[in-house]
Structure 1
Amino acid sequence: MINTATQQQQPSALLAVMKEAKRAIKPLIWFSAGINVLMLTGALYMLQVYHRVLGSHSLETLVVLSLMAAGALMTMAALEVVRGRLLATVGTWMNARLAPVLLTASVEYAASAPGQVTARPLRDLDQVRNFFTSPSIFPILDAPWSLIFFAAIFLMHPWLGWLALCGGIVLFALALLNEYITRKPLAESGNAQMRAYVKAEAAIRNAEVVQAMGMLKPLLENWKVPQDQANKRQVLAARRGGAISAFARSFRQALQMAILGLGAYLVLQNEASGGIMIAASILMGRALAPVEQAIATWKATVGARAAYKRLVAIAGQYPEIKPVLPMPRPKGKVEVENITLGRQGGEHILKGINFQLMPGEVMALIGQSGAGKTSLARILAGAWRPSGGRALLDGMDVAQWAAEDRGKYVGYLPQDIELFAGTIAENIARFAPLNPVVFKHVVRASQLAGVHELIKGLPKGYATEIGEAGAILSGGQRQRIGLARALYGDPALLILDEPNSNLDKEGEDALVVAIGIAKATKTTIILIAHRPNIVAKVDRILVLNRGQQDLFGPRDYVFNELAIRASKVAHMPNAPQLPTLEVVKDVKEFKEVKEA
């Protein structure tokens, strides 16, 4: 079990990774310094050729200078290769460290916010990694060393230095202006594009319904609204950024001509040589290169910065995944203490739920639609965290218990079966590495669920690939395989949410047998169901009414109490505090089964 205070004291995974990544900063600084110093080679070679070779007509001097320049350029190329590999290694390492944390965060967020399924954190991580491994980061690494080139130009002649520096300031101002006028439209475009992606993914995910009910055209119209908005803001940002880039390129060419013209003037005035004129032009080009590159790659830089901020919001809340110490197997005692669950806006889904189950007891959870049954089941399974109160399994809070350890002892069959692409054996084994021992447990779970013979009749048996979400299986087959997955490993607590909603008579009989066997082995069972042949087998019943606990107790007591209320409903049809007619109808069926 994870202690909350300890978890809050642990640094987040992102902060831990970035702290370790700082180790690469020092070598990156040294490599960048070496690269930029060696980029002076061209200008120095030009000066020496003009001053020493042309003046002395010495072929030996030219050969030596050329060899020295070639050696410097080869060294610079080697440093570039090493720097690029270092950046690629850092990006890959960061992805390997953070991807599991972000996937965990995405799964937990999706579990706590149904309908908000998204893999955006992983896409954001890819964007940040790609930024580290692309030329977009080079302006950031090279910009501080531009001062070397400006200083070298000043040493050649102050006028040339001031011209280059003023030109650099103007280009830097253009880069800031580019960021200012494109920031808002790019952010709006990104948000609109994400809304469009969500709508498109929903349409693809529900393609069967879309095609069957002719919903494609209205969905396209609905999708086009954020898509058009994203395109418009993207075009606006591109126009503004394009105008700045075009002006910057023109200004850069004009500046290059200006420094050549000024250099020529100084040569005519005998204040500089032809070598200084050419070298100053080369050095100025190198000094302004990071600013020019920054303008050209600004969109990628802004995107990576926004992605990093989103990663901070997600990964900044989660510690790095570490192995957890296994807890002893629970016996199955369930205690629910004043569970409360609220939705945004303050409205309560559940309020004041209290009950206790001993190991081996079977409880039915009933109530009208929207009463909060599935929400309570999700809390008991550990998929959701309650707003208040606790759900305890053998005295341990399931919300604070590490999921990979708790999952060994809890079997859960949700309303949406949620199978995964892979084989039947992998799904039942919860994707544990298959080996003879694991497969033995898979077969045992299938036999308990009464689905072993069905699986053997499939083309490849347990090795049958079921497709995404179990697409090749019928609804009843998916539900029975989901039951086998829930029974895998002989859980101490079994939670079944409408386990017979898609079953035929054969499947329902197998379900009743499975519940009986699990009960005999002292497995605590909580099931949401209305059909009398299942509910009549339970020990206790919890009735929920509009998120609140209405009745809880032994099966016969609850049946009798509901029968009394049902008789009152006949005389008081508009009574607001009494069960709905749907529940009353179920109660009458329960009584018939009981009397039979």
Structure 2
Amino acid sequence: MAQQASITRSSRQDTELDKALSACRSAFWIMALFSLVINLLLLTQPIYMLQVYDRVLTTGHLETLITLTGLAAIALLLLGALDSLRSAVTARIGCWLYNRLGPVYLANGVNARLLGDTAGAQPLRDLSQVQTFIATQGLTVFFDAPWVPAFVILIWMLHPVLGILALCSAIILLALTIANDLLTRKPNLTANLAQISATQQAEAAIRNAEVVCAMGMLPAIVERWRNSNALAQSAIRTSAELGGVLVGLTKFMRFLVQIAALGLGAWLVLRGELSPGAMIAGSILLGRALAPVELAMSVWRGFSSARIAYGRLKLRLQNSPVDINRTRLPTPAGRLTVENVTYLLPQDRRPVLRNVSFVVEPGEAVAIIGPSAGGKSTLCRLLVGTAIPSSGQIRIDGSQIDHWDQDQLGQFIGYLPQDIELFATSVRENIARMGQVDDQAVVEAAMTAHAHELIQHLPQGYETQIGDGGTGLSGGQRQRVGLARAVYRNPRLIVLDEPNANLDQAGESALAATLHELKQQGTALIIVGHRPSTLAQADKILLLKDGRVELFGPREQVLQTLRGLAATSGKPGTVPMHKTPSVEENDTSKEGHTEGPAPITASVPENAEPNRCAQ
């Protein structure tokens, strides 16, 4: 997660991709061995033709013909079996690499998203592109190509003139292959990047289908996609046309060379310098020598796409933070300490939070209020470890939050963000945080969130399928299920960002009861919100404005200060700048606070109206 060390890998440090490919080394040696035997067995046909023409036809021995035919059949059967095994090995290598690296790039994508990366699932698509290339004939070209010189040497041994023809043909086809790469590399890269951009636009449009359709945005979005896609298709067309010309030229050259080999061989036979069998064998060997080059031309487009994808995959891991194996710390009690935390946006280094300090004790609830774009949601992300402070420290039970193993710490943290994302599976699995489901813990969490009755009224109860993004539930239902997920297994620190944004009166009452129960259990609570039902459960209030703590202290004291400031200014909603109270000054008093849900009679200034954070 985001608490990982900020240092990146050096170019000499092996990434998970390098390690995975190194682990495949033995499989590659097996493929090389198979290729050796396969290419030796490919000599069966020319040797058979050579013996039939030069021995059987001249001697008339039928037994020799039967023996040669039987041996050739056995060799060809072995050839087919080994070729099938080699294809199976390449398929297994591709599947193993995807299974091995898929989780790595999925976790990398999630972590990168926290830092503002917009690639989404593109690394998994790149990995699939590499897998597809490995699992097809593309990879076998690299194992067959080294045998081209061996076939040329064999042809040379039949006759030097035929050898010179084979060598020149191989050089010409190799030059065409290099030209294909040089001419199509830039169009392939342009097409690849443009296709990624067009796909991301389409995914965004589909993800926001309701807004797109409701406000008539579809024609404009389709036009934007068409423009991006036009660039991709133009590059694809250019690459395909250039590649097609070169592939056609390659086929022409190969067929012409084989005819030339037969013609030249016939001329040598007439001169008495070559036997008829050697003429036929030379032609077959020449076809076999040039086959890998022609195959390379036909799979070159797939190779180019796989190479581009591999480059992105390697660069992504090289530039990612180094994972550190953290020591597992004792179960926290839930004491949260924020010490002079400043946070700068990674893109433009603009400060969102400045020297924020406060303390939350177990069983204590702190309500964070303030105008929009004040840094409230950013502070929530820092508190749960999905972002790291630019300076200052956040501690849970005295340990810095980035010193915790995130998987371990996540068990003790509950988080309800503004935008609630649920997974396309059952309510039960969503509440259980997509892990091993403990039915008793799931029901207890739903009851704590006062969502049990709501869930029981769903079509299939806890087994109800939510749908992608929670589309099967209303906004209020998603919020209640998200709250149940946040309180699953009684975490010690719970951060709720606008938890009542989509709730009706009954939902707000249930939320207030939930907050009261969590406090009784000793859970530390951070609640972003301004509604009276939320503030009624707060022991302390933190007023955050322009990224600074304006006020922090016991609830009644802060509310009284706000009322006094509003009366003094004569302009409701205007709060002058004041010195930020220190943690020590505001962490000692709980006077005026009464436990349990109770109505608040004081009004909150207009500048503290509930608005979503616009960081």
Name the TM-score, length of structure 1 as normaliser.
0.91
Quick one: structure 1 residues 242 and 577, their matched pair in 2 at CA, closer, same or farther if it must change by over 3 Å?
Answer: farther
Matched, 1:409 2:430: no
Native 8 Å contact 2:541 2:552 kept in 1: yes
Alpha-carbon offset, residue 494 of structure 1: 0.4
Measured in 1, the distance between the counterparts of 2:371 and 2:55 equals 97
Following superposition of structure 1 onto structure 2, how do residues 233-252 of structure 1 map, counting pairs within 5 Å? 233-252=235-254
Equivalent position SS for 2:414: strand
Matched, 1:528 2:549: no
Following superposition of structure 1 onto structure 2, how do residues 379-458 of structure 1 map, counting pairs within 5 Å? 379-434=382-437, 438-458=438-458
Alpha-carbon offset, residue 5 of structure 1: 10
Matched, 1:289 2:295: no
Aligned match of 2:223: 221
Aligned match of 2:547: 547
Aligned match of 1:79: 82
Equivalent position SS for 2:402: coil
Measured in 1, the distance between the counterparts of 2:255 and 2:64 equals 34
Aligned match of 1:98: 101
Aligned match of 1:269: 271
Following superposition of structure 1 onto structure 2, how do residues 420-569 of structure 1 map, counting pairs within 5 Å? 420-434=423-437, 438-567=438-567, 569=569
Alpha-carbon offset, residue 541 of structure 1: 2.4
- Structure 2 counterpart of 1:156, which letter? L
Native 8 Å contact 1:12 1:320 kept in 2: no
Measured in 2, the distance between the counterparts of 1:246 and 1:3 equals 52
Alpha-carbon offset, residue 215 of structure 1: 1.2
Measured in 2, the distance between the counterparts of 1:113 and 1:366 equals 25
Measured in 2, the distance between the counterparts of 1:96 and 1:322 equals 22
Native 8 Å contact 2:574 2:607 kept in 1: no
Native 8 Å contact 2:34 2:82 kept in 1: yes
Matched, 1:107 2:110: yes
Measured in 1, the distance between the counterparts of 2:208 and 2:190 equals 27
Measured in 1, the distance between the counterparts of 2:355 and 2:40 equals 71
Measured in 1, the distance between the counterparts of 2:425 and 2:472 equals 11
Native 8 Å contact 2:158 2:278 kept in 1: yes
Measured in 2, the distance between the counterparts of 1:23 and 1:300 equals 25
- Structure 2 counterpart of 1:584, which letter? P
Aligned match of 1:46: 49
Equivalent position SS for 2:434: coil
Native 8 Å contact 1:324 1:405 kept in 2: no
Measured in 2, the distance between the counterparts of 1:77 and 1:571 equals 88
Aligned match of 2:594: none
Native 8 Å contact 1:360 1:524 kept in 2: yes
Alpha-carbon offset, residue 347 of structure 1: 1.8
Aligned match of 2:232: 230
Measured in 2, the distance between the counterparts of 1:320 and 1:296 equals 40
Aligned match of 1:203: 205
Q: Which runs of 5+ in 1 are unaligned?
A: 590-596
Equivalent position SS for 2:24: helix
Aligned match of 2:34: 31
Alpha-carbon offset, residue 319 of structure 1: 9.5
1:350 aligned residue (335, 345, 353): 353
Native 8 Å contact 1:4 1:400 kept in 2: no
Measured in 2, the distance between the counterparts of 1:417 and 1:3 equals 24
Measured in 2, the distance between the counterparts of 1:52 and 1:293 equals 34
Native 8 Å contact 2:5 2:322 kept in 1: no
Aligned match of 2:167: 165
Quick one: structure 1 residues 5 and 243, their matched pair in 2 at CA, closer, same or farther if it must change by over 3 Å?
Answer: closer
Measured in 2, the distance between the counterparts of 1:503 and 1:572 equals 27
Deviation string 1:31-78 (CA, Å, 9 cap, x unpaired) is: 101101111111111111222112222112212222222221112112
Task: From the two aligned structures, give the one with the greater helix fraction.
Answer: 1
Measured in 2, the distance between the counterparts of 1:221 and 1:322 equals 45
Equivalent position SS for 1:303: helix
Quick one: structure 1 residues 424 and 112, their matched pair in 2 at CA, closer, same or farther if it must change by over 3 Å?
Answer: same
- Structure 2 counterpart of 1:258, which letter? A
Task: State the number of aligned residues.
Answer: 583
Matched, 1:372 2:375: yes
Aligned match of 1:334: 336
Matched, 1:584 2:615: no
Native 8 Å contact 1:44 1:279 kept in 2: yes
Deviation string 1:554-596 (CA, Å, 9 cap, x unpaired) is: 33443344344434554799999589xx98326699xxxxxxx
Native 8 Å contact 1:14 1:316 kept in 2: no
Measured in 2, the distance between the counterparts of 1:172 and 1:524 equals 69
Aligned match of 1:129: 131
Native 8 Å contact 1:562 1:587 kept in 2: no
Quick one: structure 1 residues 186 and 576, their matched pair in 2 at CA, closer, same or farther if it must change by over 3 Å?
Answer: farther
Alpha-carbon offset, residue 202 of structure 1: 1.0
Native 8 Å contact 2:325 2:405 kept in 1: no
Quick one: structure 1 residues 320 and 130, their matched pair in 2 at CA, closer, same or farther if it must change by over 3 Å?
Answer: farther
Equivalent position SS for 2:422: coil
Quick one: structure 1 residues 346 and 111, their matched pair in 2 at CA, closer, same or farther if it must change by over 3 Å?
Answer: closer
Q: % of aligned pairs identical?
A: 42
Quick one: structure 1 residues 92 and 530, their matched pair in 2 at CA, closer, same or farther if it must change by over 3 Å?
Answer: same
Native 8 Å contact 2:8 2:322 kept in 1: no
Quick one: structure 1 residues 432 and 571, their matched pair in 2 at CA, closer, same or farther if it must change by over 3 Å?
Answer: closer
Equivalent position SS for 2:362: coil
Matched, 1:88 2:91: yes
Native 8 Å contact 1:423 1:463 kept in 2: yes
Quick one: structure 1 residues 235 and 588, their matched pair in 2 at CA, closer, same or farther if it must change by over 3 Å?
Answer: closer
Equivalent position SS for 1:270: coil
Measured in 1, the distance between the counterparts of 2:568 and 2:54 equals 112
- Structure 1 counterpart of 2:388, which letter? R
Measured in 2, the distance between the counterparts of 1:573 and 1:562 equals 9
Aligned match of 1:593: none
Deviation string 1:287-332 (CA, Å, 9 cap, x unpaired) is: 1111111111101111111111122133456699999875422000
Equivalent position SS for 1:472: coil
Matched, 1:363 2:376: no
Native 8 Å contact 1:15 1:316 kept in 2: no
Native 8 Å contact 1:367 1:583 kept in 2: no
Q: Which runs of 5+ in 2 are unaligned?
A: 580-602, 611-615
Alpha-carbon offset, residue 546 of structure 1: 2.2
- Structure 2 counterpart of 1:146, which letter? V
Measured in 1, the distance between the counterparts of 2:240 and 2:9 equals 43
